[in-house]
């Protein structure tokens, strides 16, 4: 039963307006802070990092969409330290393979101890870090906070790791996600972050902000009238930054060096053309056709990559990115001094090889973006060779940003080698890249004003309403209802 207030003329009308405004405020999709105020954070952080970290502490559950090299790890380490001091409960950091030791070294720079753990028996009071692959060895209920480094691992809707993370940390009071690519080309993927933080389920986000596009029920698009509310909602639990200048900070220290991307196209194999029943090469369109074309052009693409890499000075580092196991094996055989990190390798071999490349112990690394393309800081290298492309723009973006990131001192050169049959794949990547830039432009533009308010002081957003005319109230309002 709902009891309605009896309203009388004069002050009663103003009271009714105020109650209605309060009702409207409850419908606003702004996430309430669930953290705590922390005015003092490490002075070793840059100004924008200090502000972002304090904001995340007030939020309690938040996302940091900071581009590569802006210091996500510095921010989430300080966040974790302050949460531990505030709650007295241990913090767990989940990171990609071989990144755990990198995070521990970063912690040492700021006077923090971060324990690298293989299982729960290694956990020490304070901050602990492990790889996503080892999450099943930990009791998630024992942690007061969890930090996801390179949280894009959540974006696989049907992924086993994603489901494991959502279930394990459903009741964790403090959560932080840090990634450079919140959603490279699709706003809908942002819903997976909101679901992890406990803000809104993926399906609720779709129903609130998106609609089906035409007759294709699998395609969703952002509602035109909901765009402003969508980005305002994002700004209440996420901060996006490509450069400190995006939020009004000095960006002098964060200027990227030039980047050159070379597109190399090898001719299609005559046998493939004959099997197509054509006089000339026809682009592969379906997924099966693309895989067939990629396999058929493997010798030519590997030969082109080996010619490029072997011509580089031996002491220059170069990463050679592949998608197929056969490509990796062929590249290792064709490139002088190459060390391959493949999916079938042991975690120990993967970690030692990736760390060896990062520390300068080897100069030619062959691997897949899915293995080595996330989280690693490899500014000591400025050459990339992609021996083919998948349809994932995020893989290309993340892999290339291992080297082309703030802190890189040299011009970065990237070669992308595809066959003439793979033109559709190249155009698909170019389309997704354009969508990514448009999305980030929208994120920053729409969130800038809201984020400045949010970063300055946390508070529920509302619209002040002052009645300028007397309201005529219908007679039925004056009766009580029980």
Distance CA(43)–CA(176), nearest Å, equals 21
Cβ neighbours for 88, distance < 8 A, ≥ 6 positions apart: 144
CA distance 253 to 406: 8
Phi, psi for residue 326 in degrees, rounded to 5: -65, -35
As to burial, measured by CB atoms within 10 angstroms (0-12 exposed, 13-18 middle, 19+ buried), residue 337 is exposed
Residues 317 and 397: beta-carbon distance below 8 Å: no
What sign results for the dihedral spanned by CA atoms 272, 275, 279, 283? negative
What are the start and end residues of each CATH 3.40.50.300 domain in the chain? 259-433
Residues whose CB is less than 8 angstroms from the CB of residue 144 and which lie 6 or more positions away in sequence, other chains included: 83, 84, 87, 88, 89, 90, 91, 172, 173, 174
Q: Quick one: pLDDT at residue 374? A: 80
pLDDT at 62: 94
Q: Give the Cα separation of 357 and 339 in Å (integer).
A: 9
Q: What gap in Å lies between CA 61 and CA 63, rounded to an integer?
A: 7
- pTM of whole model > 0.85? no
Which residues, at least 6 apart from 201, have a Cβ–Cβ distance to it below 8 Å?
A: 191, 194, 195
Q: Which two tokens stand for residue 421?
A: 């049959």
Structure tokens of 62? 């938040």
Question: What is the CATH number assigned to the segment(s) 47-253?
Answer: 3.40.50.10810
Say if residues 66 and 78 touch (Cβ distance below 8 Å): no
Residue 462: per-residue pLDDT: 39
CB 301 within 8 A of CB 388: yes
- DSSP character at residue 62: E
**How large is the C-alpha radius of gyration of the chain?**
26
**pLDDT value for 333:** 95
What SS3 class is residue 351? helix
pLDDT at 408: 86
Domain with CATH 3.40.50.10810 in the chain: 47-253
Low-confidence stretches of the chain (pLDDT < 50) are 1-7, 15, 17, 20-21, 23-28, 184, 273-280, 457-463, 481-482
Secondary-structure class of domain 259-433 per CATH: alpha beta
pLDDT tens column, 79-95 = 999 999 999 999 999 99
User: Which bin fits 220, alpha (ψ -120 to 50), beta or left (φ > 0)?
Assistant: beta
């Amino acid at each position: 039963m709902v009891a309605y207030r009896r309203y009388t003329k004069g002050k009663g009308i103003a009271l009714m307006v105020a109650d209605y405004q309060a009702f409207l405020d409850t419908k606003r999709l702004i996430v309430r802070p669930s953290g705590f105020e922390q005015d003092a954070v490490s002075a070793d952080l840059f100004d924008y990092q200090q502000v972002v970290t304090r904001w995340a502490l007030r939020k309690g559950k938040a996302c940091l969409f900071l581009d590569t090299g802006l210091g996500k790890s510095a921010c989430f380490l300080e966040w974790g330290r302050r949460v531990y001091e505030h709650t007295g409960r241990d913090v767990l950091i989940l990171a990609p393979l071989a990144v755990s030791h990198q995070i521990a070294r970063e912690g040492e720079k700021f006077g923090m101890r971060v324990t690298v753990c293989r299982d729960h028996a290694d956990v020490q009071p304070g901050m602990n870090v492990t790889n996503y692959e080892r999450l099943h060895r930990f009791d998630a209920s024992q942690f007061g906070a969890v930090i996801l480094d390179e949280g894009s691992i959540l974006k696989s809707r049907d992924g086993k790791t994603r489901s494991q993370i959502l279930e394990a940390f459903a009741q964790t009071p403090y959560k932080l996600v840090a990634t450079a690519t919140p959603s490279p080309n699709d706003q809908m993927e942002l819903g997976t972050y909101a679901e992890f933080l406990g803000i809104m389920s993926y399906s609720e986000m779709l129903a609130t902000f998106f609609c089906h596009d035409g007759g294709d029920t699998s395609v969703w698009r952002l509602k035109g009238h909901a765009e402003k509310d969508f980005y305002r909602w994002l700004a209440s639990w996420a901060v996006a930054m490509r450069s400190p200048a995006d939020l009004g900070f000095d960006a002098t220290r964060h200027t990227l060096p030039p980047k050159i991307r070379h597109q190399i196209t090898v001719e299609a194999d005559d046998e493939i053309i004959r099997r197509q029943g054509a006089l000339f090469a026809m682009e592969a369109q379906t997924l099966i056709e693309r895989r067939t074309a990629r396999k058929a052009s493997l010798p030519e693409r590997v030969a082109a990559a080996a010619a490029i890499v072997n011509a580089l000075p031996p002491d220059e580092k170069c990463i050679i990115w592949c998608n197929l196991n056969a490509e990796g094996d062929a590249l290792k055989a064709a490139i002088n001094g190459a060390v391959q990190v493949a999916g079938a390798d042991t975690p120990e071999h993967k970690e030692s090889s990736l760390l060896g490349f990062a520390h300068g112990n080897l100069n030619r690394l062959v691997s897949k973006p899915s293995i080595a393309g996330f989280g690693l800081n490899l500014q000591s290298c400025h050459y990339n060779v992609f021996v083919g492309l998948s349809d994932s723009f995020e893989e290309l973006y993340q892999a290339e940003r291992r080297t082309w990131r703030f802190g890189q001192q040299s011009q970065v050169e990237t070669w992308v080698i595809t066959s003439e049959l793979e033109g559709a794949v190249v155009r698909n990547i170019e389309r997704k890249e354009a969508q990514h830039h448009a999305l980030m432009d929208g994120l920053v533009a729409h969130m800038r004003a809201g984020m400045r308010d949010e970063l300055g002081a946390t508070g529920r957003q509302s619209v002040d309403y002052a009645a300028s005319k007397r309201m005529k109230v219908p007679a039925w309002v004056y009766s009580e209802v029980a």
